[in-house]
Each structure stands twice: as structure tokens, then as C-alpha cells.
Chain A
């Protein structure tokens, strides 16, 4: 049933779309109907898949680096009071400067390849992961720490056995946000300058007024984004299954 629900919603939206396009006789280069989009997608599966693979790699690498840097920053901030004063401004600036404004600079520095897109995705992910994880690390139940200290636990043991698992729910909400925004970073990077990727392909098709192909690429991108979110959500749920037991919706 949980699988069926999004399919029903999606199917309904597509049906409305197709009906609207036919009923109002909208020109296909303005808004193609879903049927023509699907047929283009099947005609050009190879080329779209090639570009999708590039974008997917950029997103996944961005997620990897963003999560690594974000987690490291959060740990440093939580454990070294001196470092906090240094990392915090970086964190805030990374969020205050719109990554879109940075995109041209990143392309200038790293070239037309994947590197600037990965950097974009990393930047966009860095803030939610760091902020959420840091918050989680700071909010450990004081009683747990007290108990561990009376048991003769070292600081490292407390981090590993108590603070980290206790921060996992917060970390995972950060990572979920990250998973949702990571594709934006990659695609914006591709728009600014690239020779591959779904963002590049969309611009190209847009310029050639092949709107249906553009929509096909957009769909694949959306599908990919949803799949990434879904997989990450699944992994996180498995990892912190104990948190579901605290879900208010379950107990009310």
C-alpha cells in the first residue's frame, strides 16, 4: 500500500496534465504532454542514461564529501571549544553565500569536468549535515553521560557508545535534507559550465526547442533524486530502528 500511494498520486497528476495539454491545445514546444515526453525518453534512453550517470556520480560524490566534512566539522565543534569559534563562521558563511553565485568561480577554478559540480553539491550539503549533527552531539542526555562517568568511561568511549548513537537521529534528519538538496548543487553546476550531465542536456535541448527531451531529462533527474532520498532514508531507518519506537504518531 505504501508503494501504491505515490504511484496513484503521480498517475493522477500525469492524467490531469495530459488532459490539460489536449484540452487547451498547448503547443508542444511550450508544454509537451506526458505521453510525448515518455516516448522521447524511450527513444533516447542511451544518451539520457549517459548524462544521468554523470549527474548521479556528482550527487553521490557530493553527498559523500559533504557528509564527511560536515561530520568532521560537527565533531570538532563539539569537542574542541577553541575550534568552535573558528569553524562556526565558516559554517555560517558557507550558508550565507549562495552557492549559485559561487558556481561560475568554481567552474573557473576546477574546469568543466565533474569537480566543480561535486564541490557545489558538497557545499550545499555541508551546512545541513554539520548543523544537525552538531546539535545532536550537544544534546546528549546529561544523565547518560553522568552514568557513563561513574562507570569509569573515557571521553572516547562516551563519544563512541553514547554521544554518537544518541546524535544519530539528528544527524539523519540533516542527511535527509542533504539528500533532497544535493541534486540542486550538481545541476546548477552543470548549467554554469559543462559538457555532460542532465543539467547540461536540459540546457542543450532547451536551446534546440526540443522541449519534450528537456522534460524527459527533468523526469529522470527527479526520479534519481527521489531514489537517492528513498535509499538513504531506508538505510537511516535501519540504522536507528530504536527511534521509531519513540515516534509520537505510533504511540498516540
Chain B
């Protein structure tokens, strides 16, 4: 695959993400409290944690879909509000069944009443590998194709920050690996915060891994001893250091005392 993402790099000034005094709650139930974390400009961070811990809630809060509770501040690395600079991709592809692939990719422009750029949309569909499906409806596409179109729609938004909530978890292993590689390629230079329940996925893709284990949040590893192995992403799944790191993360997820040592 030709890497065309580099010629796009210039149009992005990478933006960091910073959450301060975080607090997640539904009514009286506090999911997570007193947490802060940063995502460096242009880096890829994965959020891990067991089901129901509040990963989606956190992501939706950052996306502006849920009003932040209490003192929570969500800012960019320069302390400005994020506003329209965030794109959001969910586990379901959320393609509109009455629109063709290309019309789904151009949905954002339509919704904002902007001029639609069909050529650009076609170009992005080509980069996600589904150019020939441009006029197909979602019902005619496979799960992998649909998620590729969803990725194209996310890219079309041209947002420097991309939030993804288990975007590949509904796919089979081979399709998932392909899409991970594709996403890493196409989202280079963007700041990515991705929720996953798969430690291995996190280790393949992330520059940084954060574990939610309510009511606390941990960075696994430390600046001196990062748990995420060095090297460029997507990492080779057969790399033995990946397996060691995987084990450490599984420990951290399962046993609350372990992370205190590793942080």
C-alpha cells in the first residue's frame, strides 16, 4: 500500500489533549474520580479497562456528547477548549443505511451545510481501500468494508484529534489487523485516543497505555520504564517484548496492587 498520509501531514498542526481534575459519574454513581492525563500532540494513546468501567463515558465526555461533571476540564495542550476539533468513531460503523458509501463519507459537510467535495471523498475512500464500493449501500457491504467507510468518514472530518471507541472489536482477527495497520497509517500526525478491551491491540498501536480501573486511572509503566515497547507502530505482533508487556498489562488489569509498583 502506498503511504499517502505523509503529503497530508502539513495541513495538521498536531494538538494535544489534556484532562484535568477529571470526574466521571452517572447521577450519584461515581465511576472515576480525581484523574488527570495528557495525550501528546500527534501520539496514539489507548484506554484499557474492563467492561462497564466507564471507557465509553469518558470518550463521549471528551467528544462533547456528555456534559463534564464537576471540576472536569477538557482542553488541548495549550489550554484551549477542544470545540470542533474532535472526530468520533464508535464500535458500530454508524453508517446511514439510506446513503451510499461516498454520501456517508460526506455526511459531516452535508450536516454543516458546507459544500461537499466528492473528489476528496473518493480519494479518501481509495486510501481506505474501498474505492470501488463508493456507490454501494451499507447493507451491501461486509463488516470490514463498512468499518473502512466509517474510517474514511472520520478522516474526511479533518480533525486533529480522533476518538475511537473499540472501532475494530466487531471484526474478525485478520480484518482487524488489516484495519489497525490502515488506521495507524492514515491517522499518522493526528492525536488519537482509542478505547479497547484488547491489551494486545493497545500494545500494537499505542505510544501510551492508560488503564481505567475505577475509581482510579493508571498509566501503565513509567517514563523511565515504559510498558509500551519502543519502535514504530503498528508493532510486529510476534515481537517477544510485546508478549512480556502483554503479561504486565494483564496483571495490572486483574490485580489492583500491581500497578502501584509499575507506575
Contacts and interface: CB of A to CB of B under 8 A. Distances in A.
Nearest to A146: B65
Contact of A148 (B111, B113, B137): B111
Nearest to B97: A242
Interface stretch (A66-74, A155-163, A173-181): A155-163
Contacts of B96: 144, 162, 165-166
A150 B111 contact: no
Interface string A115-158: 00000000000000000000000000101101111111110011
A243 B98 CA distance: 8
Given A143-B90, A151-B111, A157-B112, 19 more contacts: A141-B94, A143-B92, A144-B94, A146-B60, A149-B64, A150-B63, A150-B88, A151-B107, A151-B157, A152-B84, A152-B108, A157-B110, A161-B111, A162-B96, A165-B96, A166-B96, A242-B137, A245-B137, A245-B139
A165 B65 contact: no
Interface string B82-122: 00101110101010111000000001101111000000000
Contacts of B90: 143, 146-147
A240 interface: yes
Contacts of B97: 242-243, 245-246
Contacts of B107: 147-148, 151, 161
27 contacts: A143-B90, A143-B92, A144-B94, A144-B96, A146-B60, A146-B63, A150-B63, A150-B64, A150-B87, A150-B88, A151-B108, A151-B112, A151-B157, A152-B111, A152-B112, A153-B111, A154-B111, A157-B110, A157-B112, A158-B111, A162-B96, A165-B96, A245-B97, A245-B137, A245-B140, A246-B97, A246-B139
Contacts of A154: 111
* List of 8 A-B pairs having minimum Cβ-Cβ separation, nearest first: A153-B111, A245-B139, A151-B108, A150-B88, A242-B98, A143-B94, A157-B111, A147-B94
Interface in A38-82: none
Nearest to A251: B139
Contacts of B111: 148, 151-154, 157-158, 161
Q: In this complex, which of A144, A147, A149, A157 has the most chain B Cβ atoms within 10 angstroms of its Cβ?
A: A147
Contacts of A151: 107-108, 111-112, 157
B49 to A, nearest CB: 20
Contacts of A150: 63-65, 86-88
Nearest to B107: A151
Nearest to A150: B88
Contacts of A157: 110-113
Interface of B: 60, 63-65, 84, 86-88, 90, 92, 94, 96-98, 107-108, 110-113, 137, 139-140, 157
Contacts of B60: 146
Contacts of A166: 96
A161 B108 CA distance: 10
A148 B86 CA distance: 12
Interface of A: 141, 143-144, 146-154, 157-158, 161-162, 165-166, 240, 242-243, 245-246
Contacts of A158: 111
Contacts of B157: 151
A151 B96 CA distance: 14
A169 to B, nearest CB: 10
Contacts of A162: 96
Contacts of A141: 94
Contacts of A242: 97-98, 137, 139
A64 to B, nearest CB: 25
Contacts of A240: 98
Nearest to B157: A151
A11 B97 CA distance: 41
A146 B64 CA distance: 9
Given A151-B107, A151-B108, A151-B157, A146 B113 contact: no
B50 to A, nearest CB: 22
A149 B112 contact: no
Q: In this complex, which of B64, B97, B112 has the most chain A Cβ atoms within 10 angstroms of its Cβ?
A: B97
Contacts of B140: 245
A161 B103 CA distance: 11
Q: In this complex, which of B90, B111, B137 has the most chain A Cβ atoms within 10 angstroms of its Cβ?
A: B111
Contacts of A148: 107, 111
A143 to B, nearest CB: 5
Nearest to B110: A161
Contacts of B112: 151-153, 157
A100 B98 CA distance: 40
